[in-house]
Amino acid sequence: MHIPLDRQQDVPLYLQIEEALRRAILSGVFVDGDKLPSTRTLAAELAVSRLTVDNAYAELASKGFLHQRRGSGAYVLHPGARPAQPQPTSDTPFPAERFTTLTSRLDGYPDTPLPDNIINFAAGVGSPKVFPQEEFRKILLSVLSRHAEEAFGYGEYCGYYPLRDTLGRILTAQGIPTQAEQVLITNGSQHAISLIVQSLLEPGDTVIVEEPTYAEALGLLRLHRLNIVTIPSDRHGMQVEHLPALLEKHRPKLIYTIPNFHNPTGRCMSEARRRRLLALAQHAGVLILEDDFVGDLRYNGKHLPSLRAQAQPGAVMYVSTFSKMLLPSMRIGYLVADSEQYQRVARLKHVDSFTSSNLIQRALDAFVTIGRYDKQLRRAGRIYRQHRDAMVTALQQHLPHGCHFETPEGGLFIWLTLPAAVNNETLMPVAWRHGVTFARGECFYAQEQRGTHGLRLNFAANTPPLIEEGIARLCRAINEVIAAK
């Protein structure tokens, strides 16, 4: 079997093998029921490890192209031999309730992926093909072989201490002085935000958020019956000149902000506004919650100091995650807080979820400690910058008159503003018919109607060719809606 492998590519070898075999199945080279070579045979032919071929076969099986029979081998499942998924057609109503949600994501049916012809710009994470699956798998197996008994235990409820120490040293090197005792490991950054809200706020308390902001944070604040007050933002981030009046009028307990590569807009708060925000919050005695979910993903422009790095002790709590850079299913985030705040949040975590996965924490610490996280960060930054540039170029070529967007210096998203004549309620079903979808702006506003002309586009989750095609489809849909007015 001839499968050309390019060992200089950023794409892992197992994904190159998976793609070649999938194309062969779709083109009819293999038919339903054909037996593929054993992993040992194919590994020898391609001069790769058996684990690489195992991973390729597992990827094919997860996508429904392969059936592995224990003791027998791997057999092709041709898509033509399976019942076809219903595809959207011009006379099929857009499934609004099933595909448009009040959250920031649009992942399709609960148990069924989006149809194959839909290009999805609505995801909230990066591309699975960029995640270092094979390297992490090796580290996980190493941890299991050397420390299985300890790794299978509950572990410390504050988190695996070596990982907390590693994070403290990384943050300190980035200008955020941090001790291990200030780091609390959580089940993703959403869990960290939830713990802070529950432990420090009470129903009826006021929280100031940027407009727009992270949809899941809005959902969390609503769930706990908190009063949400919004402050406008522009290309330089939160418009802090509005903050004194809001502080005076509403007496908030918390200011929630995403200063780096904001979700959904991709903007960064300017250095001058960061200093002004800190000064105003400190004068008013208001805690700041800094959500730095993809702060490491910078493609150009200068590094901006963290709010926590410039703040007085106790003034800023810091939240981040590994999920966006590594594996979303890893669900490892963390928060950094000072003594009194830390103890309150840690006690709540103990009774709320007890511990985070001890096994995954140990594997993650090994991954970070040996320098592979830095390598992964550089690799992801290089690939995602190419994806961002591909989307910017496509938007510049196809975007209809009256639409506007900003080019982010990092992160995962581009925020697109539609002309007054087009709103998401009208556009989304038309875009669906053209084979593309996105995260609708209403999700990111406390008052949903204010987001009807905005949409979030994820450039990280798709390849440049899919990005170019998807943007062309989206722009055709926008033009169709404009023409119908």
What is the per-residue pLDDT for 324? 61
What is the per-residue pLDDT for 7? 82
67 or 184, higher pLDDT:
184
CATH of 13-76, one of 1.10.3720.10, 3.40.1000.10, 3.50.50.60, 1.10.10.10: 1.10.10.10
What CATH number should be reported for the domain whose range is 96-129+375-484?
3.90.1150.10
Residue-wise pLDDT for 154-190, tens only, equals: 889 999 999 999 999 989 988 999 999 999 999 989 9
Among 45-54, 120-129, 214-223, the range of highest mean pLDDT: 214-223
Residue-wise pLDDT for 235-247, tens only, equals: 999 999 999 999 9
Residue-wise pLDDT for 406-450, tens only, equals: 999 999 999 999 999 999 989 999 998 999 999 999 989 999 999
Q: What are the start-end ranges of the E strands in 104-192?
A: 119-120, 183-186
Q: Sketch the domain layout of the chain as residue ranges.
A: 13-76, 96-129+375-484, 133-369
User: Closest Cα to residue 454, out of 428, 482, 476, 435?
Assistant: 428
Q: Three-state DSSP class for 426?
A: helix
What is the per-residue pLDDT for 105? 40
Label residue 90 by pLDDT band (50, 70, 90).
very low
Q: What are the start-end ranges of the E strands in 176-240?
A: 183-186, 206-211, 227-234, 237-238
What is the per-residue pLDDT for 402? 95
User: Closest Cα to residue 25, out of 63, 71, 51?
Assistant: 63
Lowest-confidence region among 51-60, 276-285, 306-315: 51-60
Label residue 95 by pLDDT band (50, 70, 90).
low
Share of the chain above pLDDT 90, in %: 57
User: Could you tell me the fold of the domain covering 133-369?
Assistant: Aspartate Aminotransferase; domain 2 (3.40.640)
Cα 85 off chain centre by: 27
What is the per-residue pLDDT for 114? 66
Buried b vs exposed e over 6-32: b needs ≥16 C-beta within 10 Å?
A: eeeeeebbbbbbbbbbbebbeeeebee
Q: List the beta bridge partners of residue 456.
A: 415, 439
95 or 292, higher pLDDT:
292
Q: Does the global pTM surpass 0.85?
A: no
User: Closest Cα to residue 380, out of 326, 332, 328?
Assistant: 326
State the average pLDDT over residues 313-328.
83
Cα 207 off chain centre by: 24
DSSP string, 24-78: HHHHTSS-TTPBPPPHHHHHHHHT--HHHHHHHHHHHHHTTSEEEETTTEEEE--
Q: Three-state DSSP class for 317?
A: strand
> Are residues 268 and 260 in contact, defined by beta-carbon separation less than 8 angstroms?
yes
Label residue 81 by pLDDT band (50, 70, 90).
low
State the average pLDDT over residues 248-252.
97
Which pair of structure tokens corresponds to residue 459? 């450039």
What is the per-residue pLDDT for 213? 97
